[in-house]
Amino acid sequence: MILVIDVGNTNITYGVYDGEELVASFRMMSKFERTSDEFGIMIKDLIKTNGIELENIHGAIIASVVPKVMHALTGAITKYLNIKPIIVGPGTKTGIKITTENPREIGADRIVDVVAAFEKYGGPVLVIDFGTATTYDLVTADGCFGVGITAPGIKISAKALWTDTAKLPEIEIKKPASILASETISSMQAGLMYGQIGATEYIIREVKKQAGLPNCKVVSTGGLGRLVSEETEMIDIYDPALTLDGLRIIYSKNSKKL
């Protein structure tokens, strides 16, 4: 078994794989500072709570966009699981050729997502991750990743509404019954959800048009990805485990222990 860890701006998501099967997953918030001991104890407890014996885990891999977490987290994996984790970064084998102007600027989470989408669904493929930011990344048929778009995520937009205005309340992010809203909460929900759907469809159309790839597959993931994916026919596949699968795939390319 291997432990895969995706450190995002909002959450740290953990997955345990037995071969290609995801047998457990769990999360903790990434905004709180923790020591390596705190990380280690929490990770051990969560693994055991999911019915997994610690001695069965022989490998680990981490992709992170939050550098300040890494020292304590890697220390925890080393100390409490007795494993030296693979860190996704420059030099990591991925099977994808990054052709952007500055490959080192590409977030590890985006690399992991495009690796998984290309391996699972082939190319060309446009990968949309509805996370803290909404990202759109294009991989060509021959496995080149050189195009990416970054937009504010739905939660960022929602937070801006209720923190930067005097009277708008904090609301649940969901699609209202109609875009023809008649009161404040549903009007905010309509603006957020239909605005995101409209922006998503427009960006997909423009990417396909300007890249000359009208039949490009579109794969989405991320916490709020299901809400958007269910409302548009322009997204072909919603894959909630895409990032974790990408970590598993990259681990297999960089370690002999499977």
Structure tokens given for 255: 């370690």
Q: Which residues of 205-221 are buried (b: 16+ CB within 10 A; e: fewer)?
A: eebbeeeebeebbbbbb
148 exposure class (CB count in 10 Å sphere: 0-12, 13-18, 19+): middle
Distances (CA, A) of 23 to 51, 58, 207, 235, 241: 10, 15, 36, 27, 12
| Nearest CA-CA partner of 5 in 70, 76, 61, 87 | 61
- Which residue numbers are catalytic? 109
- Residue 197: in which H helix or E strand, if any? helix 184-211
Number of C-alpha atoms within 13 angstroms, CB side, residue 92?
22
| Nearest CA-CA partner of 23 in 47, 7, 42 | 47
Are the C-beta atoms of 11 and 30 separated by less than 8 Å?
yes
